[in-house]
Structure formats: structure tokens, C-alpha cells
Amino acid sequence: MHILVAGFQHETNTFAPSKADYENFVRGESFPAMARGQAMLALREVNIPAGGFIDAALAQAHTIEPVIWAGASPSAHVTQAAYERIAGEIVEAAGAARYDAIYLDLHGAMVAEHADDGEGELLSRLRRQVGSQVPIVASLDLHANVTERMLASADALVAFRTYPHIDMAATGALAAALLRERIGAQAGWHRSVRRLPFLIPINGMCTLLEPAGRIYAMLAELERREGVSSLSFAPGFPAADFPECGPVLWGYGTDANAVERAVETLYLAVMAAEAEWSVTFHAPEAAVRIAQQLARHATRPVVIADTQDNPGAGGDANTTGMLRALVDAGVQDAAIGLFYDPAAVAEAVRAGAGSRIRLSLGGQSGVPGDSPFIGDFLVESLSDGKTRFDGPMMHGMPVDLGAVACLRIGGIRVVVCAMKVQMLDRNLFRVGGVEPEAMKILVVKSSVHFRADFEPIAEQVLVAKAPGPMLADSADLPWSRLAEGIRTRPLGQPFKHG
């Protein structure tokens, strides 16, 4: 087959403070930089879905037409200008030649300024462009908010099964296999869908923990049934204020009854575990106190997730609550990162390594309880910010953070950079001169992705709720447009309009 390949990735937190413009996609931020045409073949070296699909398609002797791959860090809405420029390029390419199939590497939780359902809008435009006979398949993030329009416009959608997302390239390969099954489905192609009636906090979705671990194991087992080609469970991204936000289960296959039974079995299992999807959070001071107690006798670092400032969920990585708690407690041998503050980095670079400077650091979120941290810091080290991810998530991807400064105050090192990136790889500490394994306490601006590379070295992991723009408890968000009746947390109160 001759297959068009493109990618457009964004996870939108409609409550976040800053939007994603075209330049965010050009840089890629925590994703690879924007790529077009043959340059997209380099994605085969990175653990992302497009790379996995391209590898699988070429191994099956298909030819591919790479168009564009663009991703940006989670934030508030994608601007209309950025959306139209990238989506327009994909749709135009689909109409410029004849293709036997289309593959898209999508997130599934994109909200643009002018479109609640960014992926559904793109898929429906493509469907109008190529007609009903050209199969369209897409891979989705585990945090996709899957809509009726997405399901109706695509022949097949398949989502990640791990969080942290270590199976991204593998999901791209699953999409290639699903395309083959869809084309070979002479007896008919059937879909079954179930939407869940409650939101799940993102920390509760971690597949290293229960109930997610056993639910995805059950999914894999049910998928082996005769007549079932694929099953997916997207717990959703619970920070997008529109009616179709929330968890969805779906499946495809050649036997309608088998697919329906498999989806229903999985649905009942998720519902039965509703109470287990809840999460225990610590106040910043409590998290630091517990970490200090554990660290006294530990041989490995205690890791604290600063989850409400996670730039992988719409935070800006510059809130100061956890830093303040560390300083107030007089913690020694601790590090926090990545802290996004280009102005502070520029001041450190001007002063030079070894200098002492007084800084106003971060605190620009506008969130109640967050304010700049003013203190005297030692510029312990500076770097050009060039590194690569060696951990399981984005393994092999080069990263350029711009200038990076390690600022020390007392026994605490703050790794500050000029680009907003989630702390999902230990090398992001190392590029700032910090050896994570040598620290007693590590604070990471992340929710779950850090676990892939940090949990193997962690004495224990704690989750803290310092003031930040990504409220970890979905019931704390000021919802206005959710579907009537959906529970805003497991076993929580149903949402009501007005």
C-alpha cells in the first residue's frame, strides 16, 4: 500500500495558564522538533508512535509518504492559527495524491481555540477529503478524551497501554497491524464503545500501580478472543472542560458479539474498581517531613512528585511551593527540577559559575498560594542544556534545553532551564550537574512519567499537592461544560450545570 503518515500531538489543559502557538510545535519542547517529509524517518530512532508505525509499515513492504510530525508540551488551548496551519497541511497533502490508507499519530486530548475536539475535527476533514473507501487509522495517547466524532471518522483507533508511556512505538506498530486487519476484514468490521461515568485523576492511572495494572492485563487477555482484533481503554485527560472529557473503552473486530462481550467485560471490571482509582496526596510540608524521615536510613533517594506543576499536564514548571517547603525544613542533599525560568537562567549566566546572586525565582503561575521565591543562590554550575533521553520513555531522543543553571541554596540544588520540559529522565538532572542517585531527596515536576526512570532508583515515591495550575484532584477544577451527571472524581458527586 501507499500510506500517508502524519502526526499532530497536543494534550490540552483548558485550565492552564499558557497556550500552544505554532512556534511551540516547531521547537517540539519535550517532543521531537517539527519534522517534514523524509526528515520524519529519523523518528524511527525515538520511542514515539510514528516511529513504530513507520518501522512496521516498511517491514510489511508498504511505501509511505511522510508529511509532517508536530508535537508541543501540554498547555492550554492550541491557537487557531497553529491548528489551521498544521491540520491544513495534513489535509492538503491527503488531497494532493491518491493513497491506499492514512495513518495519524495523535494524542486524543487536543482542544483548539476554535474546536473542542481537535482530533475529531482533523479526522472528519480528512474523511471528507478522501471519501469512505480510504482506511484511516490513528494511534492515541492513554490520556485521550475519545469522542464520537473521532470514532465515527476513523476506521480504527488504538491507545497506549502503559503510563509511564513506554509502549509508544509499540502502539504505532499496533496501528499498522490494525490497518492490515481492517483491510482484510472481509466478513465485516465492527466497533463497540462504552463511556465511563466518572473522571479518573491522572496519578491514579499509573499502570505500575493498581487497579490500572490488572485492568490492562485483562484487556490484553480479552483481546486474544476469536473475532476481537483490538481493545483500548483511554482513562482520559481530566482537565479539558468540554462535554466528552472522560474515560472511554472501545474495541474492533470481525465478530460483533465477541467485541461487544469483551468491551462489556472490561467496562464492568473498571466500574467495580471505582474506589481504587482514587489517590493519596500530601501537603508540601508533610511530603518533605516524611521524605526526611525516610532518608535518614535510606540508601536511595526519596522521590517527591510536584504533581500540580507538571508541565506534562499543562503546568509551567515554575511554582515555588515545594522549593519553599524544602528550604523551610533545612533539607540537605536535595535537588528539584526542572524549573522553568529563562530570566533566572540568564542572570546566572551573566554572573557566571561560582558567583552568588540574589534572585526572584518562579512564582509566575497566578495560582493562589504561589509566589516568587526570593533568595541568595550560589551558581554551582552552568551548561548548554544539550543532552538525550536514555530512560525508557523517550529513549534516544536528543534534547536541547537552552542554557541550564544549577542554583544552590543551603543544601538544595535547583536545576533551572530556559525551556519547559517535564522531568521524565534522570539525564535532565545530570545536564544541570546533579547526579540524582547521590541525592537524599529528589523533587520532580512530573505526575507519573518520572516513574519509568526514577522508580528503579527510588527508596519511596510520594505525591505532593503544592499550589499549581494542574489540580491533581479533578473534583477541584472549576468545571462548567462537562456532560451532565459525570462524577468529577471516583465515587464523587455528579456534575450539574448551573
Three-state secondary structure readout of 142-190:
CCCCCCHHHHHHCCEEEECCCCCCCCHHHHHHHHHHHHHHHHCCCCCCE
Of 176, 181, 167, the closest CA to residue 219 belongs to: 167
Q: Distance between CA atoms of 301 and 441, rounded to whole angstroms?
A: 5
- Give the pLDDT of residue 61: 95
- Give the pLDDT of residue 480: 97
By CB atoms closer than 10 A (0-12, 13-18, 19+), residue 151 is middle
Going along the chain from its start, the domains and CATH numbers come out as: 2-277 (3.40.50.11400), 284-472 (no CATH)
Summarize pLDDT for 140-188 with one digit per residue, the tens: 999 999 999 999 999 999 999 999 999 999 999 999 999 999 999 877 9
The residues pairing with 487 across neighbouring beta strands, listed in sequence order, are 198, 494
Q: Distance between CA atoms of 39 and 41, rounded to whole angstroms?
A: 5
- Give the pLDDT of residue 16: 86
Q: Distance between CA atoms of 228 and 272, rounded to whole angstroms?
A: 23
| pTM of structure | 0.89
- Give the pLDDT of residue 397: 85
Residue type, 297: H
Residues in the chain predicted with pLDDT less than 50, given as ranges, are none
The residues pairing with 444 across neighbouring beta strands, listed in sequence order, are 305, 337
Q: Distance between CA atoms of 446 and 427, rounded to whole angstroms?
A: 15
- Give the pLDDT of residue 56: 97
Summarize pLDDT for 245-288 with one digit per residue, the tens: 999 999 999 999 999 999 999 999 999 999 999 988 999 999 99
Q: Distance between CA atoms of 342 and 176, rounded to whole angstroms?
A: 41
Own/partner long-range contacts of 368-372 (Cβ < 8 Å, ≥24 apart): 368/467, 369/321, 369/467, 370/319, 370/320, 370/321, 370/466, 370/467, 370/468, 371/320, 372/320
How many other CB atoms are there within 10 angstroms of residue 244's CB atom?
Answer: 21
